[in-house]
Amino acid sequence: MKIGVLALQGDFDAHRKRLEELGAGVVLVKKPEQLDEIDGLIIPGGESSTFLKLLGEAGFEKLKQFVRLKPTFGTCAGAILLANEVENPPQAGLGALDIRIRRNAYGRQLDSSIREGKFDNTPIEMVFIRAPKIERVGPAVEILATEGEDPVVVRQGKVMAATFHPELSGDTRVHRTFLDLVSDSTS
């Protein structure tokens, strides 16, 4: 199983370490053609508008095709990129998840925080960094984790997103859930 981590910008290295810790082969994806070599992709946190600039039109289109076919997991900025509706300000999305997501939704004071939420009904540490908020989920979207009333990990088919950074906590469950999704779709 080969997992790509989009390595244009942001905290891709923490995902690489987590995936290796879980025994997956990792490819740092810097060129669109590398998408052809992988079974699943993680789009890390960073700055979603910068990702869009660095991807360019061709990269964006290639990524759009990829997320329709293969399992993809976006964290924070990656979750924003996967959405079909982005606010604050409006921005292009890959349309892989039927959600409305609001960038930088917690305001200045809560720029970064560590909170406890529930994943699969069990407590889990969540690191939020200039995090977005999922404001609407479509009927095909499953909520895998919540923080307070807010959905913070969602899944639609082969696509998963988290508004926090599971790669920065010791708990490996969120990444393991994604790897299960990849192995289910390759078997």
Active site amino acids: 76, 165, 167
User: Is residue 74 at the binding interface for ligand GLN, with CB under 6 A as the rule?
Assistant: no
85 binds ligand GLN (CB under 6 A): no
Q: Which window, 18-26, 62-70, 72-80, 93-101, contacts ligand GLN (CB under 6 A)?
A: 72-80
For 83, how many CA atoms within 13 A lie in the half-sphere containing its CB? 29
Task: Give 109 or 121: the residue with its C-beta nearer to ligand GLN.
Answer: 109
Residue 64 CB neighbours (<10 A):
15
Answer for the pair 83, 109: CB distance below 8 angstroms, yes or no: no
Nearer to ligand GLN, 39 or 175 (CB): 175
Chosen residue from 5, 8, 43, 80 binding ligand GLN by CB under 6 A: 80
Query: Which phi and psi (to 5°) does residue 115 adopt?
Result: -130, 165
Asked if residues 163 and 128 have their Cβ atoms less than 8 Å apart, the reply is yes
Q: Interaction with ligand GLN in 92-121: which residues (CB under 6 A)? A: 103-104
Residue 129 binds ligand GLN (CB under 6 A): yes
CB atoms closer than 10 angstroms to residue 56:
11
Q: Judged by CB under 6 A, does residue 169 bind ligand GLN?
A: no
User: Does residue 45 bind ligand GLN (CB under 6 A)?
Assistant: yes
Helices 12-21 & 173-186 angle (0-180, nearest 10): 70
What is the C-alpha separation between 152 and 174, in angstroms, rounded? 11
Which of 130, 146, 171, 183 binds ligand GLN (CB under 6 A)? It is: 130
> Where does this chain touch ligand GLN (CB under 6 A) — which range of 46-54, 57-65, 119-127, 172-180?
46-54
Phi and psi dihedrals of 69, rounded to 5? -100, -40
Binding site for ligand GLN (CB under 6 A): 45-48, 76-77, 80, 103-104, 129-130
